[in-house]
Amino acid sequence: MKALLFFLSFLPAVVARGQQKHVHKIFDVHLHGSSNQQQQIQTLQNAGIYKVALSTSWNLQNSYRDMQGMKILFGLMLPCPGGKVPYSLQQCFDTGHDWPPIEWVESQIKSGNIDYFGEILNQYCGISPADTMLYPYYRLAQKYNLPVGIHTGGAGPGHGSALFKMDMGNPSLLKTLLAQFPKLKIWIMHAGDQYYKETINVMRQHQQVYADISVISNPDIVPAEKFSFIMKSFVDAGLTNRLMFGTDNGDIQKVVQSVEQLDFLSAKQKKKLYYKNAERFFKGN
């Protein structure tokens, strides 16, 4: 009997290690496609992610539409440099074009196939996020109250886009865009990365602008000390109500751990970052 009781006393710990239960509820607002969709989604679910905002090539994205167990919001990636998704270099659209026809885009919105616009890849095409070529798409986003996620900051090696321009990833360029489309819901992807001060400035001036922490929260890309410093800058600026969690296909466990190590964030602030801010931003989508 004593031996049995001794064994049972260790059983909960063994079960816990085997199940690897997550401790957070998370909405990942920055996810791209994978060649193994089921494994990707299962890994995210195991980490506590219940909803994602997905953008990738149109065909790959469609392969996610019937997946069970995960709420997925579908984005429209554009414009595609040379007609291809950066890094993976798949064709964005069957036509091979950089820009999808505006009539087709509106029909897909009406059919419920597009929940947001993003990732906006203007930087990879060497143009500003406020370039007038993007205005027809912004008009649709504003008309249908769709959020718009815009790439900012830098880019890793091997993205395959010869036209990429670093300075076109400066969030200050969004001021011109917001002057033209004052009701547009925008989130600044990567929180501006090295342009985080510019992101803070834009967010202070425009209450509808949010930011995600993808890339800067990935310790394989940005050192933990730098991430902590950037996040403290957002906290000190009073912007914790508009920061959102994102992985950009980074290691989910590492990204969560990066957030958990921010000892200046309260449990309440972490909940906002993990999912509450995103739910408010994407409300109705």
CB distance 152 to 195 below 8 Å: yes
Contacts of residue 268, defined as CB under 8 A and 6 or more positions apart, other chains included, come to none
Is 116 within 8 Å of 47 (Cβ atoms)?
Answer: no
Rounded to a whole number of angstroms, the distance between the first and last alpha carbons of the chain is 58
Q: Is residue 14 part of a domain?
A: no
Q: Which of 136, 34, 35 is nearest to 78 (CA)?
A: 136
Q: Could you tell me where the DSSP H helices lie in 63-195? A: 102-110, 135-143, 174-180
11 falls within a domain: no
Q: Is residue 41 part of a domain?
A: yes
Number of domains in the chain: 1
Q: Is residue 132 part of a domain?
A: yes
Q: Tell me the average confidence (pLDDT) per consecutive run of 10 residues in the chain, 285 residues long.
A: 40 40 86 95 96 97 93 98 95 95 98 98 98 98 97 93 96 97 96 98 97 98 98 98 98 98 98 98 85
pLDDT at position 22, please?
59
Sign of CA dihedral 144, 281, 170, 198: positive
Domain presence at residue 17:
no
- Residue 230: give its domain's CATH number: 3.20.20.140
d(CA 244, CA 121): 20
What local confidence, expressed as pLDDT, does residue 146 receive? 98
Domain-located, residue 152: yes
The whole domain housing 77 covers: 24-281
Q: How far apart are CA 141 and CA 190, in angstroms?
A: 21
Angle ∠(167,214,198) on CA atoms, nearest 5: 40
Residue 15 falls within a domain, yes or no? no
Tally Cβ neighbours within 10 Å of residue 108: 15
CA atoms of 165 and 163, how far apart (whole Å): 6
Position 225 in a domain = yes
